Amino acid sequence: MTTQALPTRREFSVADEYQYDRRGPVRWILSHILRYKTYVFSFLAASTLTAALFSAVPALTGRAFNEVLKPTPDPGQLLLIGLTILGIVLLRGATDIVNAFSIETLAQRTERDARAELYISLLGKSQTFHNRQRVGDIMARASNDVRQLNPMLNPGVALITDSMLSILMPLIFISFIDLRLLAAPLVFLVIFVFLLRDYTRRLNPVAAEIRGRFGDLNAGLNETISGIEVVKSAAQEAQEKRKFARNATFVRDFYVKEGQVQARYLPILFFGFALTAAFAHGLWLVQQGAIDVGQLVAYMGLMGILRFPTFISIFTFSLVQLGIAGARRILEMIDEETEMDENKGGHAAEIRGDIRFEEVAFGFGTAPVLQQIGFHVQPGQTVAIVGQTGSGKTTLTKLVNRIYDVSGGRILVDDVDVRDWNMASLRSQISTIEQDVFLFSRTIRENIAFGLGSKATEEAIIRAAKDAQAHDFILSFKDGYDTVIGERGVTLSGGQRQRLAIARALLTDPRILILDDSTSAIDSATEDKIQQAIHRVLEGRTTFLITHRLSMIRRADMIVMLDKGRVVDCGSHADLIERNDLYRRIFARYF
């Protein structure tokens, strides 16, 4: 395990999480690979043996030539050489299997671990972080960039390793023939290194642009599909098509630029010169009597092996650069600081529901949203938060369960600052039902049980559905509770979605319930039944109501009146009607 520490602030983590070195994309990739040292060792051992066996064949071929050129060739010697080459080929096949299995396992596990690491990191980021991210770009990093790590290792790194060994082993075998024969290949290798360095230098920024532009393309696509109803209602399909075509063109242009860089790959040309020079040098040494014909044949066979690393580098280094560029984008997201901390050692207890706001202030950046908020809610009270649009009602409730953190003052839950609570303990006892209900593309049963997961019993799910007045319409579906609903619940009406959200909240038996205009899409008759169920189930639990329905507000024990981010009045409905002009204007239509 590396010494690089995980980010200090996270809302979620897993026990015994493996710590990777995040001091750079290359270090990060290596720390993933070195987690499986056994496979690294077997891959390197198999690759080394394969390269040695491959280089042994030209040497044996040279010996066979010398034997054939003798006045009386020895058939037994030729048979032995032939059988040896056959044995080498069979053994090389076995090492190739070990090689391929080891590197493929490394590649698949690295991709899996990187995806899990990024996913855990995203779960631990604050809502503020997610608010400023484009979902499409996150998806591009979590899918395409992570996927790029796999081909980077296999075939990318695998072929580069084979290439390096395919250079080293022939040089060793050539040195055993005659040290002077190393002149041509060594000169070529020096030129090859400089040319390869220039090639990767030009390729690296192009690879980074490809990954970035693909993220932009994916983000735009996600936004259009998510807002397809708006696009269609405004008849803006042509505009969105042009936007997508423009982003796709950027991606294409950088792939073309990558091809232009690859087209100027010069090592293959210089290898041709090196091969010619090597052959001329070898002929000269044969003429001088320094080496024989068989050794010349072996030498040229070994020189031919150098063509593989020369040719394959144009492909492998492109894969590696794309993988490193993807790793850099993944690390950027993982390492981005978040404002919240799960506070594992924080206060954990059953919430009574006593909530106190003390001079609370909050803002997004430099723009203030709430200022000097102060009021006290007794356990079990129902508090209605009332105000005009933009007064900060929803934001205020999001401070209670630390979706956002206060920028000034403090919020106490049972006389403990919410920042001192264990995050999981605090949030697990608070349920929020919002106007814009989010449902998963899963069965109705799974959506209702989401807050408890596998702990939810069938009886409890049905009871929560009945209390939320959802049981009857669920049974009207062919598959009942096993009905799979579309993403965000698009196959349901607004009222049905809200009733399922209420059932989901009721199932968790929350100590604090936040209802953010949660009955706006429900008819009055159904709303009355739901409210009766909520009052029946949540007796003794603290409830925040954000609504403009007077029928719900009248039931509140206390009404908090907000205006421009400040509490301007508190009291009962009768008190506020009598003394607050803004409150009367908001509900003037009822009178």
Assigned token pair, 290: 């320094």
Ordered per-residue pLDDT tens for the chain, 591 residues:
444 545 557 888 887 888 899 999 999 999 999 999 999 999 999 999 999 998 999 989 888 888 888 888 888 888 998 899 999 999 999 999 999 999 999 999 999 999 999 998 888 888 888 878 888 788 888 888 899 999 999 999 999 999 899 899 999 999 999 999 999 999 999 998 898 888 888 888 888 888 788 888 888 887 787 777 777 777 788 888 888 888 899 989 988 988 888 788 888 888 889 999 999 999 999 998 889 988 999 999 999 999 888 888 878 888 888 899 889 989 988 988 777 888 888 999 999 999 999 999 998 877 889 999 999 999 999 999 998 888 889 899 999 999 889 999 999 999 999 999 999 899 989 988 887 778 888 899 999 998 887 788 999 999 989 888 889 989 998 889 999 887 555 578 777 888 888 888 888 888 999 988 766 656 666 666 666 656 665 677 899 988 877 877 888 899 999 998 999 999 988 888 888 888 888 777 655
Question: 558 with 573: CB under 8 angstroms?
Answer: no
Alpha carbon 432 to chain centroid distance? Answer: 26
Residues making up the chain, counted from first to last: 591
The whole model's pTM is what?
Answer: 0.79
Structural fold of domain 355-590: Rossmann fold (3.40.50)
DSSP state of 360: E
Round to whole Å and give the CA distance between 205 and 401: 43
Distances 65 to 58, 85, 101, 583 between C-alpha atoms, Å: 10, 14, 36, 104
Same CATH topology for 25-335 and 355-590: the answer is: no
Round to whole Å and give the CA distance between 173 and 183: 14
Q: Domain 25-335 in CATH: superfamily?
A: ABC transporter type 1, transmembrane domain (1.20.1560.10)
In this structure, are strands 566-571 and 355-364 parallel, antiparallel, or unpaired? Answer: unpaired
The pair phi, psi for residue 72, each rounded to 5°, is -130, 90
Angle formed at CA 529 by CA 432 and CA 434, multiple of 5 degrees: 20
Neighbours of 552 (CB within 10 A): 21
Ranges of each domain in the chain: 25-335, 355-590
- Gyration radius of the chain over CA positions: 35
353 CB-near residues (< 8 Å, 6+ apart): 377, 378, 379, 380, 381, 414, 511, 512, 540, 541, 542
Question: 31 with 110: CB under 8 angstroms?
Answer: no
Sheet holding 408-413, edge to edge: 367-377, 355-364, 408-413, 416-417
Secondary structure in 3-state letters for 117-155: HHHHHHHCCCHHHHHCCCHHHHHHHHHHHHHCHHHHHHH
Round to whole Å and give the CA distance between 489 and 494: 9
